[in-house]
Chain A
Amino acid sequence: MNSSMTFDRRELDELRARFPEVVAFDKGRRNRNVLIGLGVVAYVIFCLWAFEITWERLTGGLDKMAIVIRQMVTWNDFWTWDFSGIALGLAQTLGMAFLGTLVASLVALPLGFLAARNVVGFSPLRHLVRRVLDVFRGVDQLIWALVYVRAVGLGPLAGVLAIMTSDTGILGKLYSEAVENIDKKQVEGVKATGASPLALYRFGALPQVIPVFLAQSLYFFESNTRSATILGIVGAGGIGMQLSERMRVQYWDQACFIIILILIMVGVIDWLSGKLRMHFIGKRDL
């Protein structure tokens, strides 16, 4: 090997012959990568065709988007905007998220215990509760909102009910998992003192799961402030109603203002509830 760390052709060939496994070129792997690449390209072409994405539509749409973005950042008649309506929308969103999460947590509490394997030994009941929770969870919040709007009319009540229904499904499942994961030793400790079955749950199980429940509910309050902002699109109240109305009549500047307000609100709620969560469960992760 020469000292300047460069190789001439002959030396390279020699090295290749000496260490074939180091320089071996994996043909199978290259072929596989080429095949994957071709597959992706074919899929993209298929999608362009299936979704009718053409160059004219793309450029035309982008031109329109440029107009929208320009209008979003020029706020001319700012002081004439309907601030009280917007503030009411934000307040409604917060209220919907809070109440929906609260009621869902209260409903999910007994259901969570009923769906836990180590609480309910009688499996038909457990399975029934679980399937009900599955249905609540399987249907999207926005679909629930649309259904409730048909039933109780336009307005935030439909939104609360929608959040409540879908969150009962999710929280019920999470609660039941938390109950299934409790530490048996504490329950046994309480049992050793001769406690009644009810006291067993109160002092053995509840102290273990309550912080987890609280943290999960808080987390869903956060996530619901986000999702409550879009429930208004189907008429279920909140800031989304204000936003979608303005987008439909192309008041892009006001829409942009509302989006900024939503982002600020969500950020503040995230921060607050993060603090509270920390307070309840310490630095432990979920």
Chain B
Amino acid sequence: MTDLAAQDPVVLFERHRAEQIRSRRGQTVLAILLFFTFLAFSINMSQFFPEKLAAGLPKIGDYLYDILPTLELSKLHLDTETEGSLAYWYFNLPTYLQLLLQTINMAVFGTLIGAVFGFLLCFPASRNLIRNYWIYFIARRIMEIARGVPDVIYALLFVWAFGIGPMAGVFAIAIHSAGALGKMFAEVNENVSTGPIEGVRATGGGWFEEMRFGVVPQVWPNFLSYIWLRLEINIRSSSIIGFVGAGGIGQELYYVINFNHYEEVSAIVLLVILTVTIVDLISERLRHQAIGKEQLL
């Protein structure tokens, strides 16, 4: 009788299940305990206390209300002198547009410099393309330092070294992009097919010829798409890098926020959102085109 019960698949299954549940319960309790300890630590560290929140939240509402423009429907079309018109809200539009162009230009130029240096660094940083371990090691570490530090921190440093202005921003973006792109490029390089490289070697080509005619034609399309992706990221970061004085629309935004030119805050933020959205849309379209053409990814 007992024998039969022990062989019953349902009983066996239930027993096995109970065992598993028991062994998992200990882990779950431990995980929950850890989670709440860390949560308490975080709340304590960041002063995320109810009374502080209750005091702060209405102020956030007030602030958001303050930066909204006072627009009146009947006056929308009037000139810059009339309060309540669109023109009054965007009275500084020519300056904004100029700064916006500068911001985008900073991103493009920074990405260009970064791409050049990332390109130069990625070949020595690919394990399959370089025989000397130390060259590989040094190239990897250089890239890690370049991309590990956020570009705003570099900007802070460069503002001190090169002076206030977009030059510091461009260099900060460039150095961070060089590290980030170099790593991406190197990963592409490590997946190349060796056939073309061996082909070039067979004709008597040296290391540089191998890279130029064996590797680059294989990886170039991927490199381009990574550069484009980076440009998108850089346009975002170039709009805030001005907070530390490194040029672009961020510098103006920092100024108007700190000096409480309320309506200008919303005007600039709206322009920045618009720019970033347009860039996103363009790049989405380009990506779809590229995918349609190449039929991969």
Contacts and interface: CB of A to CB of B under 8 A. Distances in A.
Interface of A: 40, 43-44, 47, 50-53, 57-58, 60-62, 64-65, 68, 91-92, 94-96, 98-99, 102, 134-135, 138-140, 142-143, 146-148, 150-153, 155-157, 159-161, 226-227, 229-230, 233-234, 237, 243-244, 247-248, 250, 259, 262-263, 266
Contacts of B38: 98
A160 B162 contact: no
B60 interface: yes
B213 interface: no
Contacts of A62: 161
Nearest to A93: B45
B150 A230 contact: yes
B153 to A, nearest CB: 7
Given A95-B46, A139-B273, A152 B157 contact: no
A233 B244 contact: yes
Interface of B: 38-39, 41-48, 52-53, 55-56, 59-60, 62-64, 102, 105-106, 109, 112, 148-150, 152-153, 156-158, 160-163, 165-167, 170, 236-237, 239-240, 243-244, 247, 253-254, 257, 265, 269, 272-273, 276-277
A155 to B, nearest CB: 6
B46 A143 contact: no
Contact of A234 (B44, B106, B160, B243): B243
B161 A230 contact: no
B149 to A, nearest CB: 6
Contacts of B254: 146
B153 A152 contact: no
Nearest to B168: A61
A135 B45 CA distance: 28
B108 to A, nearest CB: 8
Contacts of B152: 142, 230, 233
B67 to A, nearest CB: 8
Contacts of B62: 151
A139 B277 CA distance: 10
**Chain A, interface SS category:** helix
B240 A140 contact: yes
Contacts of A266: 148
**Chain B, interface SS category:** helix
Nearest to A57: B162
Nearest to A53: B167
A247 B150 CA distance: 14
5 contacts: A51-B106, A68-B157, A68-B161, A91-B41, A146-B254
Contact of B161 (A64, A99, A146, A148): A64
B240 A143 contact: yes
Contacts of B269: 139, 143
B64 to A, nearest CB: 8
B252 to A, nearest CB: 12
Contacts of A96: 42, 45-46
Best-surrounded residue of A61, A68, A143, A234 (most CB of chain B within 10 A): A143
Nearest to B47: A157
Contacts of A161: 56, 60
Contact of A50 (B43, B102, B148, B265): B102
Contact of B60 (A151, A159, A230): A151
A95 B162 contact: no
A53 B171 CA distance: 10
Contacts of A148: 60
Contact of A142 (B46, B59, B157, B243): B243
Given A95-B41, A146-B257, A247-B160, A47 B165 contact: no
Nearest to B171: A61
Contact of A99 (B43, B63, B158): B43
A61 B158 contact: yes
A271 to B, nearest CB: 14
Best-surrounded residue of B105, B156, B165, B265 (most CB of chain A within 10 A): B156
